[in-house]
A and B are shown apart, each in its own frame.
Chain A
Amino acid sequence: MSETEKPAGDGERLARLRRPATAARKAAAPPPPVEAPAPTPRPTGTTTMPPVGGDNVLLAVNGLQKHFPVTQGIFFRRQIGAVKAVDGLTFSVNKGETLGVVGETGCGKSTMGRLLTRLLEPTGGQILYNGHDITHASTHQLRPLRREIQMIFQDPFSSLNPRHTVGSIVGAPLKIQNIDSPENRRRNVQELMELVGLNPEHYNRYPHEFSGGQRQRIGIARALALRPSMIVADEPVSALDVSIQAQVVNLLSDLQKEFGLTYVFIAHDLSVIRHISNRVAVMYLGKIVEMASDTDLYEHPLHPYTHALLSAVPIPDPEREQKRDRILLKGDVPSPLNPPPACRFHTRCWKAQEICRQTEPPLLEISPGHQVACHFPEEKDLVG
């Protein structure tokens, strides 16, 4: 959606859409006691992230863990293990920026997204939103938080209730959070639909009458309904055609500019991530192996896993594509039930030494804003 397509008077409409209540609500809320993240006992091997940007930090995550128990038995369930989906994440997201998260299938990206929106209860660690500790907030305590953090889901087909009309799907957040009167709701919802490029006349239609891209726009409208500060987008374009992907990604960046949104953008498509992100975190088996600004990461990758990922990106130049060496990782991702000790990547790493099997490399800041968890970080030109 480009600016030129929008009808005149757009600015006015947007200004009206921006709820003044947000500011009032924030002012009314008691100023949170901004505590420094308590030095909680954290899993070995992770280092505390240096404070980034001070009070510009919107979300701070400290040693976040999620272990799914694996149980056995019918009457007396006993735990025989745990899937360590997310195992010690430490990072922060600044206001107004986009943090891209990439990684293979099953590396814990989506679990992380669900932990940040508190759809899942973390096993360990800490999540601070705007200074509030929301790690173990109850359903009741989370209610006001839902207005601040929203989520866009991966599957545009299962994320919309097939029995609800678009109007009631987009209006549900307003209804549940008691934001407006039922008389205004229709107008508000139709404005939201217009904002994301849907025809407001389709208010009474059902999701099955829309295409994948339009459905994803419905999901975006729902996420925007509460005027959140932060949106966690869990692979929002993975299920869409490439041409539609571009439209949706552009819509998301337009909305970010208009509303000053902060995104945590989860994807496995490196080019999408590069397009939209300010900073990128690379995950492997529930841990961040490298985190840097987007140019830094794509031009000066340091971790061997990042090298492998980037070498899989096709280069639109047959000659260079022929010449460069592809890094093919051997084997599969090890089971998160029983992850390899020390450096989790050592089983597939061509540079692995004895130290990689003995001690876990901490996530260290090697150059300003560039963190990597590897004993043998090395720059390698892969994308050019």
Chain B
Amino acid sequence: MITILYLPAVDAFGLIAPRLRVPPAGVLPGLPTGRGAVTAPLDVAGDVAGSQPGALLDGVSSKSIEGRSLGQIAWIRFKRDKFAFASIFVILLLILFTILAPVLNKWIGVDPTTNDINNLNIDTGIGLPIGHFGGINGSHPLGVEPRNGRDIFARIDVGARYSLIVALASTVLSVVLGTFFGAIAGFFGGPVDTFISRFMDILLAFPQIIFAIAIASVIEGSKSGGGLWTHIILLIAIIGFFSSPYFGRIIRGQVLSLREKEFVDAARGIGASPGRIMFRELLPNMYGPILVYSTLIIPVNILFEAALSFLGVGIPPPNPSWGSMLSDATGSGLYQIDPWFAVWPGLFIFITVMAFNLLGDGLRDALDPRSNR
């Protein structure tokens, strides 16, 4: 028996082997049929198949070969990154924890600002918590603060609210400001770029904390005295404003490189306005860096808020924030005797910062179409 190797690609028009076709359904593959053993791709059926490019896909439903959007591809890549995927859960859990703070506190029966001296050992002179691990017991899941006995759990979950609100809102503000001015500077160049870039340099060189203290003292000196939310809005404005140049510079650099691409010329060639080019052509190409740097700047802003709280211009006491809790512990030196005082806020800052950083890394890998992971 002669074995004929049948190559459909070579015999595109069926000239060599007009009678040798794929065995009809039901015939076992590999068995000699007709005059010779036929070796042909089994998924190719019918006489036309192989003679027309693209016909191979006719059998496949058009749904299954539909193109994926870039978002879908990014999501598939992102899901592969276990750490980044886990960080989303951590962040969602944290947000849930923050939202449910009043409910949780009521259920456990704790309050962030109530002093509970019964849990402190007055005999030590400093007022250390009674019991192990900073005074953890049934009524205080994470123990109490030394010296005044406020519940740490309640302070952590309420403090999370202020820390996250300030960090997220100031990041949004800095992204909006930074993207807008960075894009304008990079796109128009020349004197506009010089002016905006020098202004950003000045902002970066500015002693931000002193500026923040000055503004906060002006507000506190005013008649209203500045309530909690005045302080929060002030914090958001100051942190957002001062971290916007970091964004502005990144966006400016991105725009500088993107505007030399030919698709920008193509857009101008069809009569697109500068606004359309900036926001419809360039901005979508910067979602990746914007998202990544946002997630990376959130932890920085959490720490900035902590620093300002430490200096007394952040969240006004007795309202808790993670930064001010950490400052209380380290500033008083009490963490040397009662380390748990510093461990809890530190741990939460660490987890949050870590989660946002991992998320940022994962997003960067997922959103960059050129990365190989």
Contact = CB atoms under 8 A, between A and B. Distances in A.
A249 to B, nearest CB: 20
A146 B266 CA distance: 11
B269 A146 contact: yes
Contacts of A151: 265-266, 269
B67 interface: yes
Given A119-B269, A159-B262, A202-B67, 11 more contacts: A146-B270, A150-B270, A159-B261, A159-B265, A161-B285, A164-B284, A172-B272, A176-B272, A176-B276, A177-B270, A219-B266
Contact of A158 (B263, B270, B271, B287): B263
Interface in A126-170: 139, 142-143, 146, 150-151, 153-155, 158-165
B267 interface: yes
Contacts of B270: 146, 150, 172-173, 176-177, 222, 225-226
Q: How large is the interface on A (under 10, 10 to 19, 20 to 34, 35 or more residues)?
A: 35 or more
Contacts of A180: none
A56 interface: no
7 contacts: A75-B194, A117-B269, A119-B268, A158-B261, A164-B284, A204-B66, A222-B270
A35 interface: no
A201 B269 CA distance: 26
B354 to A, nearest CB: 30
B271 A143 contact: yes
B92 interface: no
Interface stretch (A24-32, A38-46, A205-213, A346-354): A205-213
A163 B284 contact: yes
A114 interface: yes
Contacts of B287: 163
Q: Which 6 A-B pairs have the closest CB atoms?
A: A163-B284, A205-B67, A159-B262, A146-B271, A173-B270, A153-B262
B266 A162 contact: no
Given A161-B281, A164-B284, A206 B265 contact: no
Contacts of A75: 194
Nearest to B284: A163
Contacts of B271: 142-143, 146, 173, 176-177
Contacts of B265: 114, 119, 151, 153, 159
A16 to B, nearest CB: 22
A101 B67 CA distance: 39
A226 B271 CA distance: 11
Contacts of A165: 69
Interface in A240-287: none
A201 B268 contact: no
A153 B266 contact: yes
Interface in B94-113: none
A154 B262 contact: yes
B93 interface: no
A222 B67 contact: no
Contacts of B30: none
Q: Which of A158, A160, A208 has the most CB of B within 10 A?
A: A158
B32 interface: no
Contacts of B88: none
A161 B258 CA distance: 10
A213 to B, nearest CB: 13
A109 to B, nearest CB: 15
Given A142-B271, A143-B271, A172-B267, A204 B67 contact: yes
Scoring B262, B284, B285 by chain A CB atoms within 10 A of each residue's CB, the highest score goes to B262
Contacts of B272: 172, 176
Nearest to B270: A173
Interface in B224-279: 261-263, 265-273, 276
Contacts of A142: 271
B62 interface: yes
B237 to A, nearest CB: 31
Give the one of A75, A176, A204, A225 with max B CB within 10 A: A176
B67 A162 contact: no
Contact of A161 (B62, B66, B263, B273): B263
Nearest to B283: A163
B70 interface: yes
B28 to A, nearest CB: 35
A360 to B, nearest CB: 32
Contacts of A206: 67, 69-70
A173 B276 CA distance: 12
Contacts of B276: 176
A202 B261 CA distance: 24
Contacts of A199: 54
B131 interface: no
A209 B67 contact: yes
B369 interface: yes
